[in-house]
Structure 1
Amino acid sequence: QISKLGAFCCGLSLCNQHTIVLYIACIVPWVLYRLFRKMELSLGHLLKLGLCFLAGLLPYLYLPASSYLNRARWTWGDQTTFQGFLTHFLREEYGTFSLAKSETGSGMREMLAFQLAQMKSELSVPVLALALVACVSTALPTKQQKSPVIWLFTGMLCLYSLFFAWRANLDITKPLFLGVVERFWLQSSAVVAVLAGLGLAGLASVGSTVLEGSRTLPWLEWLSALALVASQVWANYSTCDQSKNYVVDKFARNLLSSMPTGAVILLRGDLPGNALRYVHYCEGMRPDITLVDQEMMTYEWYLPKLAKHLPGVYFPGNRWNPVEGVLPDGTLAFNLHRFLKVNEHKEVFVCIGLHEGDSTWRRSYSLWPWGMCEKLVPSDVVFDPGEWIHLTRNLYNWTEDYGSFMPSSWEAVANEEMWQARMKTAFFIFDLAETASVTAEMKSQLYTFAYSSYKEIVNSHPNHPVNWHKNYAIACERMLRLRWADVDPEELLSETVKHFLLYTEKAEDDPQRQDILQAVKHLKKELRALRKMKED
C-alpha cells in the first residue's frame, strides 16, 4: 500500500516541479529493487504501481481541456494538439531543464560553491554536520539498518546538485538571479534535512550501545531534534514571514492607476508582466486597460488563443515579427510599426522597454517617459517639457525607502524601478538637449528644465540611487556653459563638485571614476578662482 501511495505522489509531484524527476529517477529503481528482494514484486503489482503513478498526473488533463474551451484570458501555449501539449510539458520554448531562454550561466564549480554556502547559511553548521555523520556511518563496519535509505538520499542529493549546477543557465553573481537559483536549492536542502535526521538517529543508536539502559538518552535525542528545529524557526521566521509584504502589489496598482482610460500596455519581463496581469485579471483592477505581452506575441499560439480576449486592440496578422509579410509556414506576420498604425485610436505604453529586435516603430514614433513606463507618441507631436514634467511629476504614490529590500528579491527590483522612475523625465529632457537638432535658445531651455527637475528630485530625497548624484552633477556642469543661465555660477560649481564626489564615494566600480576625480580637481580650481574673484 505504501509503494502505491508513493507512486501516486511521484506522479503528482511532477505536476508541480519538473526537477523532481531527478529524485524519482533514484526512488523508483530503489523501491522496485526493495520489493523484488522481499518477493513482493509481480507483474500485477507493477501494473498497479504504474496506474497509481498515472493517476498522480491527472491534473495535466486540465491543460488540453482549458485550451480547447479557450475561455482563459491568460494562458501559455496551445495544448489542443499532442505536439502542443508536449512542447508545454517539456518547456521547449524556454529550454527543457533550463532557467532562462537565452542566458549564460555560471560554471558548475561556482554554482556548487554557492550552493554549499547557502546550505551553511540557511540550515546551519550542526545540520550539515549531522548529514555528514549519516553519510559516514554507512562506511562503518557495523551493520546499519538505515544504510540503504541513507545511500538513496545521498544519491538523490548528488544527482540533483550536479545536474542543476550543469543546467542552471543564470549568472549567480547577479543578486536577482542568485535569488531565483536559491529557490531551487530548497529541493536539495530538504534532502539534507532528512539526512541530518538520520545522522542524529545514528548518533543516538551509537549512544544507546555505549550507554546501555540510559533513560536520559532518548530525551536527549528529542531535545536535540527540537533544538535544531527551534533554531531554524528562530533564525528564519522573520525572513519567511511575508504576511505584510505588499510591495509588488503596490507596484502593480501604482502602475495601472497612472494609465489613462482605455490605454494599451505592451508588457515585457516577469515583474511588470506577472504583477500587472494578476491585479488586472484576478482582482479586476482597471478593466478598461488592455495588457499585451511583447514576448508572447512572437509565439505562433498567442494571438490565435488570446486575441479575442483583448477587445478594442487590432492585430494585423497572426504573429509579431520584425519582417512583416507571409512567413514560409503561411503565418501572416506584422511588425510593431504596423501594429501601432492600426491602433492609432489607442494610447499605447510600453513597460519595461521595447523588444530590441524590432525597431520599425522609429519610422513614425518616439518614446516619451511615463513614470516607470514609456508612451509611444507620433513623431510629429511637439514635445512640451514643462507640460510633460507637470504630467509625470506625481504619477505614483510610492513610500518605500530606497535600498530597504534584499538585492536578490523581486521587491528590490520593484523598488528600484519606482525610484528610478522619478528621474526618467529629467533624464529624457537632458538627453534631448544633448542630442536634438534644435536652436541654441531651445537647447538652453531644455537644459534649464532638466536641471530644475534634477535639483528638485535630489533635494527632496536624501537617500536615493547613487546615479542621481552623477546625473545632477552633469546637469549642473552643463548649466555653467549657458551664457544666459539665471543661476549663480558659484552654486552650480559647488553642487557639481559635491555630487561628483558623493558619486565617486559610492560607485567605486565605475570605470569612469578616475576621469571624474580628475574633472573634480579642475572644477575645484575654478571654484576657488571664482570665490577669490568675488572677494576681490
Structure 2
Amino acid sequence: LPSSYLRHGQLSTTLLGSFVCGLALTNQHTILILVFTSVLFVFHKDRSALLRPKRMMVLFVLFAMGMTPYCYLLLAGSEPPMGSWGMFQDVRGVVRHLLREEYGTFQLYTSGRAETPHNTTTFEMLEKRWKRNFSDFWNTLMHETEGTGAVLFVLGLIFLMRERDQNKFARGMYLIVYLGLYMLLFSSLANLPDSNFYDDILRRFWIQPKQVVFIVIAHAISTSVQRTTSSHICRVFRPIICGVIVVVQLMKNFPRRNMYNNWVV
C-alpha cells in the first residue's frame, strides 16, 4: 500500500492503508516499525494534503477501526476457554494483553536466566545483542541462499540507489529505511538468552526483514536479466529464474520446516 501511494498518490490508498495498519497491529508488535516507516514516507510525499484536520480525523477513525479485533477479547473473556492467554474480564486485562506485559512490552524475554551479567553496562548489552542478532540474521540468509544472498542484495541496493525513476527510487528507499529500522530496533530489544531453543524463537522474527531482502534480491535479478538480454528473452527467462529459485528454496528448506507430523505444534 505505501508503495502504491508513492507511485499513484491516491487518497483511497491512504484510507485503506490506515485501516490495514490498525489491523496489522493486532497481530504483532513489530508491525509498529512498518507502520512508522509507512507513515513517514506517505506524509513526506504529500503532507499538505494529509495534514488537514478532517482528513486526519478520518485516517485516525479508520486506524481505530482496524484495531477493533481487540474488542472481541472483552466478549470472549466473559467465558474464557481452557488454555486461553490472559484475563479479559475488564479493560485492564485487554491493555495488559495489548502491551504484551506477560512476556515483556517491546522485548522478548522477561524472566529466568539472565541475558547478561549484572555488572554489564547498557552499551555493552546492546553491543552484545547487535552482534548476536545481526550475525544470526546474516548466517541464516547466507544458508538459505547458498551464499549468494549477500552479493545479490548488494547488487540490488546499487540498482535501487542508481534508479532514475523517482517513484521507483522512493519505493526502494522505503524498503531500505524499513529494513534498517527493523534490524536496529529489533536487535536492540531482542533480549533472548543464548541457546538453540531461543535461537529458533528469534528466527521467527526474521520473516519481515527477509521479505525486504528478497524483494531487493529479486530486483537485482530482474534488472540484471533485463539489462543483459532483449525484452523478448527477458520475458521468457524471468519467470523461469523465479521458478528455479522457488524450487531450490523448497527443496532446501521445506524438509526441515515441515511440521505436518508434529502433533505438539
TM range (shorter): 0.7 to 0.9
* Correspondence for 2:6: none
* Correspondence for 1:192: 213
Indicate which of 25, 34, 41 corresponds to 2:45: 34
AA aligned to 1:101 is: T
TM-score calculated relative to the size of structure 2: 0.79
* Correspondence for 2:21: 10
C-alpha deviation, 1:40, in angstroms: 7.0
* Correspondence for 1:447: none
Is 2:91 aligned against 1:91?
no
C-alpha deviation, 1:175, in angstroms: 0.8
C-alpha deviation, 1:150, in angstroms: 1.2
* Correspondence for 1:166: 188
The structure richer in helix per residue is 2
AA aligned to 2:133 is: M
Is 2:106 aligned against 1:79?
no
Larger Rg: 1
Q: Residue 136 and residue 3 in structure 1: after superposition, are their counterparts in 2 closer, same or farther (change >3 A)?
A: same
Q: Residue 77 and residue 215 in structure 1: after superposition, are their counterparts in 2 closer, same or farther (change >3 A)?
A: closer
Instruction: State the superposition RMSD in angstroms.
Output: 2.6
* Correspondence for 1:65: 75
The structure richer in strand per residue is 1
Task: List runs of 5+ in structure 1 lacking aligned partners.
Answer: 250-536
AA aligned to 2:13 is: I
Q: Residue 165 and residue 86 in structure 1: after superposition, are their counterparts in 2 closer, same or farther (change >3 A)?
A: same
AA aligned to 2:135 is: A
Counterpart Cα distance in 2 of 1:131 and 1:144: 21
AA aligned to 1:229 is: V
Could you tell me the percent identity over the aligned residues?
A: 25
C-alpha deviation, 1:148, in angstroms: 1.0
On the 8 A contact 1:150/1:198 being kept in 2, the answer is no
On the 8 A contact 1:153/1:191 being kept in 2, the answer is yes
C-alpha deviation, 1:204, in angstroms: 4.2
Counterpart Cα distance in 1 of 2:34 and 2:99: 17
* Correspondence for 2:156: 134
Q: Residue 44 and residue 202 in structure 1: after superposition, are their counterparts in 2 closer, same or farther (change >3 A)?
A: farther
Counterpart Cα distance in 2 of 1:165 and 1:71: 35
- Spell out, residue by residue over 1:53-105, the C-alpha distance to the aligned partner (whole angstroms, 9 max, x if none): 222211100122223x2343343433344433322211223321221212416
AA aligned to 1:228 is: I
AA aligned to 2:183 is: S
* Correspondence for 2:258: 241
On the 8 A contact 1:90/1:96 being kept in 2, the answer is yes
Task: List runs of 5+ in structure 2 lacking aligned partners.
Answer: 1-11, 117-127
* Correspondence for 1:219: 236
TM-score calculated relative to the size of structure 1: 0.41
On the 8 A contact 1:98/1:168 being kept in 2, the answer is yes
AA aligned to 1:192 is: V
C-alpha deviation, 1:242, in angstroms: 1.8
Counterpart Cα distance in 2 of 1:204 and 1:45: 43
AA aligned to 2:61 is: L
On the 8 A contact 1:128/1:192 being kept in 2, the answer is no
Counterpart Cα distance in 1 of 2:19 and 2:67: 8
Answer 1 or 2: higher relative contact order, Cα 8 Å, separation at least 6.
2
* Correspondence for 2:138: 116
AA aligned to 1:19 is: T
Counterpart Cα distance in 2 of 1:205 and 1:13: 35
Is 2:34 aligned against 1:23?
yes
Q: Secondary structure at 2:101's aligned position in 1?
A: coil
C-alpha deviation, 1:116, in angstroms: 0.5
On the 8 A contact 1:134/1:196 being kept in 2, the answer is yes
Indicate which of 201, 212, 216 corresponds to 2:222: 201
C-alpha deviation, 1:145, in angstroms: 4.2
- Spell out, residue by residue over 1:336-392, the C-alpha distance to the aligned partner (whole angstroms, 9 max, x if none): xxxxxxxxxxxxxxxxxxxxxxxxxxxxxxxxxxxxxxxxxxxxxxxxxxxxxxxxx
C-alpha deviation, 1:236, in angstroms: 1.4
On the 8 A contact 1:134/1:150 being kept in 2, the answer is no
* Correspondence for 1:304: none
On the 8 A contact 1:77/1:84 being kept in 2, the answer is yes
C-alpha deviation, 1:244, in angstroms: 2.0
- Spell out, residue by residue over 1:271-306, the C-alpha distance to the aligned partner (whole angstroms, 9 max, x if none): xxxxxxxxxxxxxxxxxxxxxxxxxxxxxxxxxxxx
